[in-house]
A = this chain, B = another copy of it.
Amino acid sequence: MTKVLTFGEMMLRLKPAGNNRILQAADFEVNYGGAEANVAVSLSLLGDQAAYLTKFPDNLLGDAALGTLIKYGVITDKVLRGGPRLGIYFFEKGASVRTTNVVYDRAGSSFAETKRTEFDWPKLLADVDYFYFSGITPAISRELQEAVLAACQYCQAHQITVVCDLNYRGKMWSPERAQEVMAELMQYVNICIANDEDFEASLGIKAFDGDMSRGIDQKADFKAGMLEVTKRYPNCHTVASVLRNIYSVEASQWTGLLLHDGQYYDAPVYDMHVMEGVASGDAFGAGLIHGFVHNFEPQDMIEYAIAASVLKLTISGDLNLVSDQEIRAIKGQGAGASMSR
């Protein structure tokens, strides 16, 4: 059975209960999430064999994060334990014209403090077919940047497919630093996921003008950007993107775009009422990898990935708790809701 390993940081996520702001919160809802963990959980829920690699502190918070992965079937036997603390992020959901806030409290976490030597890649990647990381992991520390590089090199040498979601985070590093690091790592990437500002911030490729209310309207520019990626990085045979017109925190349109072996594939556009706009890119990535694992046709692949992605917009928490059947029910269409009873 095909096996996917994802490598990154899972954090405790704290969100004021209901619609409260942090300043008025009497309770935080407790969730655990992080790009690469989210991808692993999605794949596991879709029936794939997904393993996750990180380092958790050896305390009750580490236990709780680990328990969350196990509950959803992720293979966690390679997870390291120890170090100072579990990273945290505070999530203050916006509304209408009020922007969502994310406050990171991840510095000094057990994962952030790992040394590259803690990762024995030949052993860790021994039975792996797909290796997934996002741009967040090398942004965390120099050591992790080197660890990712070593993993990529091992993969290339052993025919393991490397998947990278660029996932640029302006609160973690500058475009200059990101581009410097990603330029090297992209040499090894076979499947690249790039959304919105990622093209420019992570790769220095202009594909999007930054206006989130008209991402879909710039599809032609995205196509050009994608092509440029494959030109610059010949090992990269696939580039996939989520395109969005975001009108407010709740109202937006979503679609997907795929460049695979030189050919473009479009997904339908979904008119969305968004419950929670976090981690839908990870759901998209998981949908895409699921497509590769099961040899979907490219058109199916992008339709499946964007359907998985928009379903995440309806779920609370970082994890895309949906089934393959639920994705298929809305795949390839725009909307249409009824009740099953």
User: Is A122's beta carbon under 8 Å from chain B?
Assistant: no
In addition to A22-B61, A102-B341, A107-B108, 4 A-B residue pairs with Cβ atoms within 8 Å of each other are: A18-B316, A96-B337, A248-B336, A278-B339
* Stretch among A126-134, A174-182, A217-225, A322-330 lining the B interface: A322-330
* Stretch among A46-54, A67-75, A259-267, A294-302 lining the B interface: A67-75
A97: chain B residues within 8 A (beta carbon) = 270, 272, 310-311, 314, 330, 335-337
Q: Is the CB of A23 within 8 A of B336?
A: no
User: Is A125's beta carbon under 8 Å from chain B?
Assistant: no
Q: How far is the CB of A243 from chain B (nearest CB, A)?
A: 14
A329 to B100, alpha carbons, bound, how many Å? Answer: 12
Interface centre among A67, A169, A278 (most CB of B within 10 A): A67
A14: chain B residues within 8 A (beta carbon) = 14, 28
Q: Is the CB of A335 within 8 A of B247?
A: yes
Q: Is the CB of A30 within 8 A of B23?
A: no
A127 to B330, alpha carbons, bound, how many Å? Answer: 44
Q: Which 3 residue pairs spanning A and B have beta carbons closest together?
A: A71-B71, A102-B341, A95-B314
Q: Is the CB of B27 within 8 A of A30?
A: yes
User: Is A200's beta carbon under 8 Å from chain B?
Assistant: no
Q: How far is the CB of A60 from chain B (nearest CB, A)?
A: 4
User: Is A17's beta carbon under 8 Å from chain B?
Assistant: yes
A274: chain B residues within 8 A (beta carbon) = 96
Q: How far is the CB of A22 from chain B (nearest CB, A)?
A: 4
Closest to A214 in B: B336
Please judge, given known A-B contacts A70-B73, A315-B21, A321-B24, whether A273 and B29 are in contact too, CB under 8 Å: no
User: Is A105's beta carbon under 8 Å from chain B?
Assistant: yes
A251: chain B residues within 8 A (beta carbon) = 273
Q: Is the CB of B171 within 8 A of A341?
A: yes
From the candidates B22, B84, B107, B271, name the one contacting A60 in the complex (CB within 8 A).
Answer: B22
Cβ < 8 Å to B, chain A residues 302-334 = 310-311, 313-317, 321-322, 326, 329-330
